[in-house]
């Protein structure tokens, strides 16, 4: 297992300190290679972090922001991770960033027929990026999923092994078909960050620390990452 633990006294401190840490990593990446790649998760937890990050002064015009995963819903849908990022991260200083979602629109989408094409188009779109990711901000659900790597989901096996940047999954326990960065793409990131707030998620994380298992996909990240996964906790 490869983790670096950062314990914060409260959620506000976690958001502030982690935003400053990510900003410094993005500045270093821009200084080293003229650009930076930042991938962020959606869901409900990252809003305070996004708000802090959006205020960080750094060469945002040289930063490409993409998603760790997306629900296959139109970009103005309340469950859209894109909408969350546009509303809370791509504001203020960070409004200058280049934004590259997996897709711009989703007209007449039918997961049964359209998922492979949507995935192929997203892969084409992301292929020319200057991989690897400089920073990937992961999230984790109480079922141990991370990105859209859901336990037992159709598509999971490919998403855990594909060398393409993007794969689809269809979680049985959460709404919407998904596009997700694949596990190999995430593991290649220069810095993997996992903010974890609250007792329930920290207990799930403790279980994931025991051994790698596809029953808790976050465990595959923390046990297989070649570089330390930076886990930031707050009560």
Contact with ligand LXAUTJHC (CB under 6 A): which of 48, 141, 144, 217?
A: 141
Estimate the crossing angle of helix 199-210 against helix 217-224, to 10 degrees: 60
Neighbours of 33 (CB within 10 A): 12
Q: How far is the CB of 220 from ligand LXAUTJHC (least distance, A)?
A: 15
Q: Does 113 bind ligand LXAUTJHC (CB under 6 A)?
A: no
Q: Which residue in the set 15, 16, 26, 41 belongs to the binding site for ligand LXAUTJHC (CB under 6 A)?
A: 41
Q: Please state, in angstroms and rounded to a whole number, the distance separating the CA atoms of residues 23 and 193.
A: 13
Q: Should residue 44 be labelled a site residue for ligand LXAUTJHC when binding is judged by CB under 6 A?
A: yes
Build a one-symbol-per-residue string for 169-208: x at contacts with ligand LXAUTJHC by CB under 6 A, - elsewhere. Answer: -----x----------------------------------
Q: State the burial class of residue 128 (Cβ atoms within 10 Å of its Cβ: 0-12, 13-18, 19+).
A: exposed
Place of tokens 């290679």: 33
Q: How far is CA 217 from CA 124, 148, 151, in A?
A: 26, 9, 6
| Stretch of 12-20, 38-46, 118-126, 183-191 lying at the interface with ligand LXAUTJHC (CB under 6 A) | 38-46
Question: Which residue's structure tokens are 């979602």?
Answer: 101
* Residues near ligand LXAUTJHC (CB under 6 A): 41-45, 68-69, 81, 139, 141, 148, 174
């Amino acid at each position: 297992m490869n983790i670096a633990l950062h314990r914060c006294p409260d959620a506000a401190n976690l958001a502030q300190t982690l935003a400053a840490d990510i900003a410094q990593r993005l500045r270093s990446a821009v200084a080293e290679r003229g650009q930076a790649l930042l991938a962020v998760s959606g869901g409900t937890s990252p809003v305070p972090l996004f708000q802090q990050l959006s205020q960080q002064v750094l060469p945002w015009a040289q930063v490409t922001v993409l998603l760790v995963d997306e629900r296959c819903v139109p970009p103005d849908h309340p469950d859209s991770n894109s909408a969350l990022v546009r509303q809370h991260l791509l504001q203020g200083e960070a409004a200058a960033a280049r934004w590259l979602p997996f897709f711009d629109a989703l007209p007449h989408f039918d997961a049964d027929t359209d998922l492979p094409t949507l995935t192929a188009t997203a892969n084409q779109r992301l292929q020319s990026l200057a991989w690897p990711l400089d920073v990937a901000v992961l999230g984790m659900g109480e079922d141990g999923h991370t990105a859209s790597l859901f336990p037992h989901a159709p598509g999971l096996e490919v998403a855990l092994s594909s060398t393409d940047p993007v794969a689809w999954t269809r979680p049985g326990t959460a709404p919407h078909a998904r596009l997700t960065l694949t596990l190999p793409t995430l593991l290649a990131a220069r810095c993997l960050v996992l903010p974890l707030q609250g007792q329930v998620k920290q207990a799930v994380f403790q279980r994931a620390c025991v051994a790698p298992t596809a029953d808790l996909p976050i465990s595959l990240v923390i046990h297989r990452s070649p570089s330390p996964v930076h886990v930031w906790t707050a009560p």
